[in-house]
Amino acid sequence: MGDVQPSPGDPEENRDPVDSEKKTREGNPTMRPVPETQNQDSKSAREDLGGMGMSVSDLNAYYGSFKAVTDVSMEIQANKVTALIGPSGCGKSTYIRCLNRMHEVISGAYAQGRVTLGEQDIYAKDADPVIIRRRVGMVFQKPNPFSKSIYDNVAWGAKINGFRGNMDELVERSLRQAALWDEVKDRLKESGFGLSGGQQQRLCIARTLAVEPEVILMDEPASALDPVSTQKIEDTMDDLKKSYTVVIVTHNMQQAARISDYTGFFYIENQGDPGQLWEFDETEKMFSNPERKETEDYVTGRFG
Amino acid sequence: MRETMIKLALTACAYLSILTTFGIVLVLLFETIGFFRKESIVEFLTSTRWSPTTGSFGILPLVYGTLTATIIAVIVALPLGLLAAIYLSEYASRGLRRWLKPALEILAGIPTVVYGYFALTFITPFLRSHLFPDIGSFNALSAGLIMGVMIIPTVASVSEDAIFAVPQSLREGAYALGATKRETATKIVVPAALSGIVAAVILGISRAIGETMIVTIAMGAQPIWGGSPLEGMQAMTAYIVQVVGGETPRGSVQYQSIFAVGSALFVMTLTLNLISYWFVRRFREVY
Ligand SMILES: Nc1ncnc2c1ncn2[C@@H]1O[C@H](COP(=O)(O)OP(=O)(O)OP(=O)(O)O)[C@@H](O)[C@H]1O
Ligand SMILES: [Mg+2]
């Protein structure tokens, strides 16, 4: 991630994308294009950042011999919010975890198919999952803060990725973006465990933002949250998509309709089959006039 | 009816073990008080001369012997035990872990007398011919080293439990930020398991302090205050063995002194256990 990587005030280094890419993360090249204007300070640079689109074709996901998701193809538009909906167990979590190679972390689990992030095939032989995950961040269903202070929770990811700019500034900016700053600004040194569940989840969002990925995956981030925290997270969404591409799994139809630009409906036709992407379209169309009957039944709450 | 009988029997067993412990502590206390009727407690705690035959009862040389061996043991066991625990929990495949963990725990069952002879007949000669030509035949270094090996299984196994118990979601959270496996293991998982690791180390220290055979066999019987680890020393436990196994008449001051030393040992391990208990409570993370 070129924007924070090179030391500010070294424009020479920043002007050459290949060079600064190479410097990222212990010499591993990343694919993050470096915007031309990013050589002043990290703050102004960050606002120029866009998200990156992803393209998925014929993706199959397995847990050992069990096939959980079959033949998904999807274009994820840059700087848009894509919502994934569908009944429980139809493979939404499995699918979203394939988008940053988190699926394979589970022992025995693997994915087949082609997923690209910009030009990068993330399942290419030479693709390093560590770098992919740095570019495609993830917020989990259950808040999972580290056993560190609030400040270090946010700073840690940036630190291990070689961030050399002003860390205080980055932490504050990330916490503001996650709508948590005002609540924690006086207790940054306290443990992240001391926060409420909703605050912990916003802390996890802030921590993901601090790494400045190009895509943010969210797996039911609001499922265990009260309406106020949910609202706060939703409110950040419009802001987030200016700088990031967002993919979000949700069980809440109103939420999907409110915050997303595109919606994918996952469905299992016959029990025991793997889940598939039943319908994928602009959110407006999906909620007003979907092509398939099951989609309509689901979004209108007739089953699921 | 049967139910109540069984319940009664179990309750009796529970109380019996508590009573036994209580009884032992009482005897220890009683005899210790008897000892301090004759000898000054201040001298006992502050004097650096331990010579029971001439009536000098300053416990510090014995404490020095015990602590020297213990510190050497911890220097060996802490890094090795922790690394073994990290490897087992984070790197070893599931099948390998299923074999290695019990194997490690079996190591903890080697009789300490075997370790003691190993230190005396192998480690000390080895150190003498390769590193320290003038090391004594009895010395704290080889006793401490082998005691470190003895407590590695305890430290590794208990830390491994703590590390393994760190929820997978925490590891995934780190991976999702682009952390490598090593960064995740050392900077997220280990700190999250810290209270358990500290408890493991303290448990290891307690075992080392209470360990008897190794220090008796390999460290010698000279209560010396402030000696070098290359020289012989006497540990608290080794002194007790010496008196019990010798011809000291019951009821004499010398004989009673072992209860005072025993009480001191008891207080040391109890304090350590309390610290460990406090630490676990204080720093236990709620996931
Ligand atoms: N770790 C795993 N090992 C084996 N099978 C799994 C595992 N996780 C999920 N599955 C299976 O994969 C299928 C898809 O599960 P997944 O969690 O992706 O569904 P989901 O759409 O996210 O459901 P929910 O809405 O309840 O979160 C299910 O049949 C589930 O049982
Ligand atoms: Mg799910």
Question: Got the DSSP string for chain B?
Answer: -HHHHHHHHHHHHHHHHHHHHHHHHHHHHHHHHHHHHHS-HHHHHH---EEGGGTEE--HHHHHHHHHHHHHHHHHHHHHHHHHHHIIIIIS-HHHHHHHHHHHHHHTTS-HHHHHHHIIIIIHHHHHHHT-TT--SS-HHHHHHHHHHHHHHHHHHHHHHHHHTS-HHHHHHHHTTT--HHHIIIIIIHHHTHHHHHHHHHHHHHHHHH--HHHHHHT-S---TT--TTS----HHHHHHHHHHTTPPTTSHHHHHHHHHHHHHHHHHHHHHHHHHHHHHHHPPP-
Are A281 and A290 in contact, with CB atoms under 8 Å apart? yes
Share of chain B above pLDDT 90, in %: 83
What tokens were used for A142?
């259950």
B272, burial (CB in 10 Å: exposed 0-12, middle 13-18, buried 19+): middle
Task: Give the tens place of pLDDT for each residue, B227-243.
Answer: 899 999 999 999 999 99
Q: For position A41, what pLDDT does the model report?
A: 40
- Cβ <8 Å between B192 and A147: yes
What tokens were used for B169?
């979601």
Query: Distance between CA atoms of A242 and A221, rounded to whole angstroms?
Result: 19
A30 close contact with B: CB closer than 8 A: no
Residues of B in contact with A160 (CB under 8 A): 177-179, 183, 187
B87 close contact with A: CB closer than 8 A: no
Q: For position A231, what pLDDT does the model report?
A: 86
B94, burial (CB in 10 Å: exposed 0-12, middle 13-18, buried 19+): exposed
Determine the distance from the C-alpha atom of residue A92 to the mean position of all C-alpha atoms in its chain, rounded to a whole number.
14
Instruction: Kindly report the pTM of this predicted structure.
Output: 0.82
Q: Is residue B23 in a domain?
A: no
Are A17 and A3 in contact, with CB atoms under 8 Å apart? no
Q: For position B286, what pLDDT does the model report?
A: 52
Number of domains in chain B: 1
Residues of B in contact with A144 (CB under 8 A): 167, 169-170, 172-173
Q: For position A58, what pLDDT does the model report?
A: 94
Determine the distance from the C-alpha atom of residue B71 to the mean position of all C-alpha atoms in its chain, rounded to a whole number.
10
Among residues 189-218 of chain B, which lie with CB inside 8 Å of chain A? 191-192, 194
Q: Is residue B11 in a domain?
A: no
Kindly give the distance from the C-alpha atom of residue A116 to the centroid of ligand 1, in angstroms, as a whole number: 23
Choice between B40 and A40, residue whose per-residue pLDDT is larger: B40
Kindly give the distance from the C-alpha atom of residue A227 to the centroid of ligand 1, in angstroms, as a whole number: 26
Kindly give the distance from the C-alpha atom of residue A178 to the centroid of ligand 2, in angstroms, as a whole number: 22
Q: For position B39, what pLDDT does the model report?
A: 92
Tell me which chain A residue has its CA closest to the CA of residue B170: A144
Ligand 1 surroundings by CB, under 6 angstroms: A 63, 66, 68, 86, 88-94, 106, 275
Task: Give the tens place of pLDDT for each residue, B165-220.
Answer: 999 999 999 999 999 999 999 999 999 999 899 999 999 999 999 999 999 999 99
Query: Distance between CA atoms of B200 and B205, rounded to whole angstroms?
Result: 9
Closest Cβ–Cβ partner in A102, A107, A142 for B176: A102
Q: For position A224, what pLDDT does the model report?
A: 67
Range of the domain at B66: 60-247+267-283
Q: Is residue B109 in a domain?
A: yes
Ligand nearest to the CA of A68: 1
Over its length of 304 residues, how does chain A's per-residue pLDDT go in tens digits?
A: 334 333 333 333 333 333 333 334 443 444 444 443 333 344 333 445 678 899 999 999 999 999 999 999 999 999 999 999 999 999 999 999 999 999 999 989 999 999 999 889 999 999 999 999 999 999 999 999 998 999 999 999 999 998 989 999 999 999 998 889 999 999 999 999 889 888 999 999 999 999 999 999 999 988 767 788 788 878 888 888 888 999 999 998 988 999 999 999 999 988 889 999 999 999 999 999 999 999 999 998 876 4
Q: Is residue B19 in a domain?
A: no
SS3 state of residue A191: strand
Beta strands in chain A (DSSP E): 54-63, 66-76, 81-85, 109-117, 120-121, 136-139, 215-219, 245-249, 262-267, 276-282
What tokens were used for A107?
């022992």
| Count of pairs with CB atoms under 8 A, one residue in A, one in B | 71
Q: Is residue B254 in a domain?
A: no
Given ligand 1 and candidates A67, A90, A217, which is best to mutate, with the most ligand atoms within 8 Å of its CB? A90
- Cβ <8 Å between B285 and A211: no
Q: Is residue B150 in a domain?
A: yes
Amino acid at B202: I
Mean confidence (pLDDT) of chain B: 92
Ligand nearest to the CA of A89: 1
Q: Is residue B5 in a domain?
A: no
- Cβ <8 Å between A140 and B178: no
What tokens were used for A42?
């990290």
Banded pLDDT at B245 (limits 50, 70, 90)? confident
A181 close contact with B: CB closer than 8 A: no
Strand partners, A112: A60
Q: For position B285, what pLDDT does the model report?
A: 54
B92 close contact with A: CB closer than 8 A: no
**Strand A215-219, strand A136-139: pairing:** parallel
- Cβ <8 Å between B178 and A160: yes
Beta strands in A187-301 (DSSP E): 215-219, 245-249, 262-267, 276-282
| Closest Cα in chain A, distance from residue B90 (Å) | 12
Task: Give the tens place of pLDDT for each residue, B101-120.
Answer: 899 888 888 999 999 999 99
Ligand nearest to the CA of A252: 1
Task: Give the tens place of pLDDT for each residue, B47-83.
Answer: 999 998 898 999 999 999 999 999 999 999 999 999 9
Amino acid at A293: K
For the domain that residue B241 is a member of, what is the CATH number? 1.10.3720.10
A63 close contact with B: CB closer than 8 A: no
Residues of B in contact with A127 (CB under 8 A): none
Largest CA distance in chain A: 60
B3 pLDDT higher than 90: no
Are A61 and A91 in contact, with CB atoms under 8 Å apart? yes
Q: Is residue B261 in a domain?
A: no
